[in-house]
Amino acid sequence: MIKQTFLHLSGIGEKTESNYWNRGINNWDDLENSLSSSVISKNSPILKNQIALSRKSFEKTEVSYFSKRLPVNQQWRLFADFNHAAAYLDIETTGLGNYEDHVTTISLYDGKKLSYYVWGDNLEQFVEDIRDYSLLITYNGKCFDLPFLERQFRIKLDQAHLDLRFVLARLGYKGGLKGCERQLGIDRGDLEGVDGFMAVLLWREYQRSGNVQALETLLSYNMEDTINLERLAFLSYNQFIAFTPFREEQLPLPANITDIPFKPTREIIERLQYGLRRNGYAG
């Protein structure tokens, strides 16, 4: 979709881009060949230069070049061409971001490899591993995950970023990550009913008692969040591209990953849920 995109070029908005598509100008090559026409000759030198830069950035997988130039509501266009350089990312923490709060676990998935990081074990390795990716895909990462990670590790995550919270909301899917999953037919199985607050309690349980099953349940939840982002990204991309002349270029959905190395323990989940209900928590 990136090579069919003109919105990152000077003076081209959605209406102009749509007009070009309707005239059969469907990609950068078509546009470059049309620059001699009287309709768009005024910006020809600028556009030719920007098309050349676009080609070079595409070849080098410089996703940020396009991300910085595309409107916020069009960031979904990055996905198809750059998902090979993307990492799906989700974190769990001890709270919502007070000064004393910290990351407990991180899950990172690139469509093939699933990695995890745990406070007090290998958390610092995340800083090195995340450098391998040019595009980060999250749910609500713009407001939570990325600022939290940047503060904790004192780093700048300057990769291009596709936040599915806003992508899905534009398609009409709201209600948090779990709500969006339900609307799109994704089943949580044994993790049904586990949420971010429960993740905090699972970590506290692990810290208090050393119960490894609590940590494994937390990690399975964290990983489920992360791998589900992949399916949500594919589904949302296909819905958006269906509104364009390139609807036949929808992507085949990825196979469901089955090799999450940890399993949730329902007894722990139900015990914590019972305690929450007794205390009036209705999350």
Written as one string, the DSSP assignment of 112-151 is S-EEEEETTTTTTHHHHHGGG-SEEEESSIIIIIHHHHHH
Cβ distance 63 to 82 under 8 Å?
Answer: yes
Q: Are 146 and 254 members of one domain?
A: yes
Q: Are 154 and 210 members of one domain?
A: yes
Cβ distance 178 to 172 under 8 Å?
Answer: no
For the chain, the domain total comes to: 2
Tell me the whole-structure pTM to 2 decimals: 0.94
Please give the C-alpha separations between residue 175 and each of 118, 140, 166, 220, 268, in angstroms, as whole numbers. 28, 12, 12, 22, 26
User: How many CA atoms are closer than 13 Å to the CA of 180, on its beta-carbon side?
Assistant: 23
Q: Is residue 86 part of a domain?
A: yes
Q: Are 130 and 20 members of one domain?
A: no
Q: Are 13 and 149 members of one domain?
A: no
Q: Is residue 75 part of a domain?
A: no
Q: Is residue 257 part of a domain?
A: yes
Cβ distance 70 to 81 under 8 Å?
Answer: no
Q: Is residue 222 part of a domain?
A: yes
Which tokens in the block code for residue 56? 């070079």
Q: Are 174 and 142 members of one domain?
A: yes
Q: Are 177 and 113 members of one domain?
A: yes
Which tokens in the block code for residue 125? 């390795």
Q: Are 97 and 209 members of one domain?
A: yes
Q: Is residue 283 part of a domain?
A: no
Locate tokens 């964290």: which residue?
Answer: 222
| Type of residue found at 74 | Q
Q: Are 123 and 235 members of one domain?
A: yes
Q: Are 87 and 175 members of one domain?
A: yes
Burial of 158 (0-12, 13-18, 19+ CB in 10 A): exposed
For residue 283, name the pLDDT band (cuts at 50, 70, 90).
low
Locate tokens 């598509």: which residue?
Answer: 21
Please give the C-alpha separations between residue 283 and each of 46, 158, 194, 217, 264, in angstroms, as whole numbers. 53, 34, 9, 18, 19
Q: Is residue 74 part of a domain?
A: no
pLDDT tens by residue, 99-128: 789 999 999 999 999 999 999 999 999 999
Q: Are 169 and 134 members of one domain?
A: yes
Q: pLDDT at position 42, please?
A: 63
**pLDDT at residue 180 greater than cutoff 80:** yes
**pLDDT at residue 39 greater than cutoff 70:** no
Cβ distance 146 to 131 under 8 Å?
Answer: no
Round to whole Å and give the CA distance between 25 and 159: 30
Domain endpoint, select from 60, 95, 110: 60
pLDDT tens by residue, 144-155: 999 999 999 999
Q: Is residue 71 part of a domain?
A: no
Q: Which of 197, 227, 188, 200 is nearest to 119 (CA)?
A: 200
Please give the C-alpha separations between residue 277 and each of 7, 179, 204, 270, in angstroms, as whole numbers. 50, 21, 18, 10
pLDDT tens by residue, 204-235: 999 999 999 999 999 999 999 999 999 999 99
Q: pLDDT at position 255, please?
A: 83
Domain range holding 10? 2-60
Which CATH number is 150's domain given? 3.30.420.10
Q: Are 113 and 199 members of one domain?
A: yes
Q: Is residue 176 part of a domain?
A: yes
CB-CB neighbours of 124 under 10 Å: 10
Q: Are 274 and 219 members of one domain?
A: yes
